[in-house]
Amino acid sequence: MATEKTVRFLRIKELAKMIGMGKSSIYDRLNPKSKRYEPTFPRPIKLGVGTTVWASDEVESWMAQQIAAARMERGDFSN
């Protein structure tokens, strides 16, 4: 039986806490002109004037990809 996962909207403060990065580092990863630009970083969703969020499932997926890439890089294939 499949369980449905609830997708939440994350504001910038919650996103920063979740991934352990500062707000400026997050925006750097979204900026193609930045040396920190990361095309795989989850894209923000604009809900209205002054309201920008990220989908929790996209953030969690990106985090899992980062963990897998780091483990592959160092040859750690456990978990």
- Sign for the CA dihedral angle at 17, 22, 23, 29 comes to negative
Residue 48 belongs to some domain of the structure = yes
Question: For the whole model, what pTM was predicted?
Answer: 0.83
Residue 79 belongs to some domain of the structure = no
Please name the residue ranges forming H helices in 1-79: 12-19, 23-30, 56-74
Each residue's pLDDT expressed in tens, for the chain with a length of 79 residues: 556 778 999 999 999 999 999 999 999 999 999 999 999 999 999 999 999 999 999 999 999 999 999 888 777 666 5
Residue 50 belongs to some domain of the structure = yes
Give the pLDDT of residue 56: 97
Give the pLDDT of residue 3: 67
Residue 62 belongs to some domain of the structure = yes
In the chain, the number of structural domains is 1
Residue 40 belongs to some domain of the structure = yes
Residue 53 belongs to some domain of the structure = yes
Domain of 43, in residue numbers:
9-74
Give the pLDDT of residue 63: 97
